[in-house]
Amino acid sequence: MSSDPGAGGDRRGRRLPFDGHVHTSFSPDSEVAIDAYARQAVELGIREIAITDHVDLDPRAPAYACASFEDRRKAVRDAAHRWAPLGLHLRFGVELTYERAWEDAARHHLQQNAYDFVIGSVHVGADSPYLASRVEAWIAGKSLPEIVAPYFQEVEAAARSGLFDAIGHIDFVKRYLAPHVPASDLAAAPELLEPVLRALVETGTALEINTSGLRQAAREMYPSPAAVARYRELGGERITVGSDAHTADHFAWALSDGYAAAEAVGLRPSLERQPVAA
């Protein structure tokens, strides 16, 4: 049974190489045990999972000092040991919240702590104009480029930082704008995403196809297949795919759609590290 209204039944991916973005009880917004994902992966024929719990560097943010690096590392390594005999590979990753204001802290964290895969993502933090309490006032009287600029400027800076193997959900702002600005408006202005796509290509940072958007208000992936195609046109070669599950039943959710968008442009998703260290 699916908890997604309108999701149309079980959309979990099957027989796929990996789910590259999931959250466990080491994230403040998830209660899932690693084994709950691992069990499904074995059942569904998914050979690898990147466990990518949140790390926030702003002391006001929910995943600031939520769980220690060592506790997270040990939990994933212990689980990896348990599941390896069943053919499942568990990768110790992280989803680090990026903001320019905290870039030095992000660099320091990654110098001190070794992960197998690092996603950098821009979220909607304490100062964000996209918070539900602020977004309507933010939008009022602004053009679409003005509305999205704060989000896309941060995402571009995340790619330019060179700190990350992949950038997560590059147009996640669609989720927060959805009640006011439909995703179709953004789709009609693809030039707004162009600087982000160029930054990914120029730095060799992977584009994440995050399928959680299909179960959220935007009702499309982050980013859409059209943006994936544009990334490829610009010379992009590196793609990762993740469900961004925060609950067990969202593991691998719509993952096939993400793989299909990559394969449509001739790319095979992978969890390769960023080749050039920051």
CA 276 to chain centre: 20
Q: Does 27 bind Zn ion (CB under 5 A)?
A: no
Q: Does 208 bind Zn ion (CB under 5 A)?
A: no
Show the binding pattern over residues 162-181: x = contacts Zn ion (CB under 5 A), - = does not.
------x-------------
Segment interacting with Zn ion (CB under 5 A) among 42-50, 142-150, 219-227, 241-249: 241-249
Q: Report how far residue 81's alpha carbon sits from residue 85's, in angstroms, rounded to the nearest whole number.
A: 8
Our CB check for Zn ion shows the closer of 156 and 232 to be: 156
- Shortest distance, position 30 Cβ to Zn ion, whole Å: 9
Residue nearest to Zn ion (CB): 121
The helix (H) or strand (E) run that includes residue 38 is: helix 34-44
Segment interacting with Zn ion (CB under 5 A) among 4-12, 34-42, 94-102, 228-236: 94-102
Q: Report how many residues bind Zn ion under the rule CB under 5 A.
A: 4
- Burial pattern 19-54, b for ≥16 Cβ within 10 A else e, equals bbbbbbebbeebebebebbbbbbeebebebbbbbbb
Of positions 80, 208, 244, 245, contacts Zn ion by CB under 5 A = 244
Q: Is 85 exposed, middle or buried (0-12, 13-18, 19+ CB in 10 A)?
A: exposed
Our CB check for Zn ion shows the closer of 170 and 267 to be: 170
CA 210 to chain centre: 5
Give the closest residue to 82 by CA, choosing from 33, 44, 131, 127.
Answer: 33
Q: Does 56 bind Zn ion (CB under 5 A)?
A: no
Q: Does 116 bind Zn ion (CB under 5 A)?
A: no
Our CB check for Zn ion shows the closer of 121 and 128 to be: 121
Our CB check for Zn ion shows the closer of 12 and 232 to be: 12
Our CB check for Zn ion shows the closer of 95 and 156 to be: 95
Give the closest residue to 245 by CA, choosing from 63, 10, 75, 12.
Answer: 12
- Shortest distance, position 235 Cβ to Zn ion, whole Å: 26
- Shortest distance, position 141 Cβ to Zn ion, whole Å: 29
- Shortest distance, position 28 Cβ to Zn ion, whole Å: 12
Q: Does 95 bind Zn ion (CB under 5 A)?
A: yes
Give the closest residue to 151 by CA, choosing from 125, 180, 185, 189.
Answer: 125
Q: Report how far residue 166's alpha carbon sits from residue 121's, in angstroms, rounded to the nearest whole number.
A: 9
- Tokens 């789709």 label which residue? 187
Residues forming contacts to Zn ion in the complex (CB under 5 A) are 95, 121, 168, 244
